Amino acid sequence: MRYIDDDLTGKTILITGGAGFIGSNLAFYFQAKHPDAKVVLLDSFRSGETLSNGNLKSFGHFKNLIGFSGEVISGDINDKTLLASLQADYRFDYIFHEAAISDTTALEQDLMIQTNVNAFKDLLDLAVAHGANMVYASSGATYGAASSPQTVGREAPQNVYGFSKLMMDNIARDYMTRGQISIVGLRYFNVYGPREFFKNKTASMVVQFGHQVLSKKVPKLFEGSDAILRDFIYIEDIIQANIKAMRPKASGVYNVGTGKARSFQAIVDILQKELEIDLGCEYIPNPYVGSYQFHTEADIEPTKSGLDYAPRFELEDGIKAYVPEIRRLFEEEL
């Protein structure tokens, strides 16, 4: 589905984090729906470098881009020389900023602030210099344990990742007041779908549970999982929000979810139905009681009015669309 009618012929689009989950999906959207646009991807592709928690520093993977025909640049958004060359060598019309240290369990506060906050300001300066509209990834993690529905203006981050995204929003609002370019921050809730597999342990529980079931392993859920609810959103609706944010009615920070909270139990039940494998479930004690979000639900009314956004995928629809890719990954990658 094409989400805007704008003719992007001759337009140049920069996508940071272009080899990651959301960035790569954006790249293929433009390639399919707006083939006359020039798309440039920037990504700090994965190496063996890890954070102190043992997770990879970068999740960018070449396999997410197989079939992409645009330009790919390997580089770090913290590299000011690289950013200067982007400003001098290109003329961007739109910038989609998806690059980040996105691991919510990362402990490196210095790296998180440098990468997510300071480099974002540099990219905003690049956008202003080029007159490029900016769409960037904020996060539902800004809300922390705030009560549902989570509403912009009621933030309470509980980790440095959520804090860094809130600081990005603060910087963006300062630039918005200048009125030089359109700037939209999108607070993603629990995203799942194709091209997330290479996020490894930080990939959604949809793909992780799917592979457990295909391996004939009984899915393990925390006790009371029918009452642990999240706003799970399929990647196609994330792409919809990004594209519509290219021409918003107003700059701003918007939630991107479905506006409906669903349980982890529902994920397992839907997966087993779609995979035609019934293993039941094993329930284990939740060791995170007291420091665990039991309910997230995005307030998307401002998003509907500000971006003309309307989620298209219920959890059942998204998982059904995703299952063929879950099977393929199981057969080819596992």
Residues with catalytic roles: 161, 199
Which residues pair with residue 14 across a beta bridge? 40, 95
Other Cβ atoms within 10 Å of 278 Cβ, number: 9
Asked if 168 and 117 touch (Cβ cutoff 8 Å), the reply is yes
Burial 74-113, CB ≥16 within 10 A → b, else e: ebebeeeeebeebbeebebbbbbbbbbbbbeebebeebbb
DSSP category for residue 235: H
Beta bridge partners of residue 229, listed in sequence order? 263, 295
Residue pair 100/116 in contact (Cβ under 8 Å)? The answer is yes
Pairing of strands 133-139, 220-222: unpaired
User: Contact 4/243 with Cβ under 8 angstroms?
Assistant: yes
Q: Where are the alpha helices (DSSP H) in 143-230?
A: 160-176, 205-214
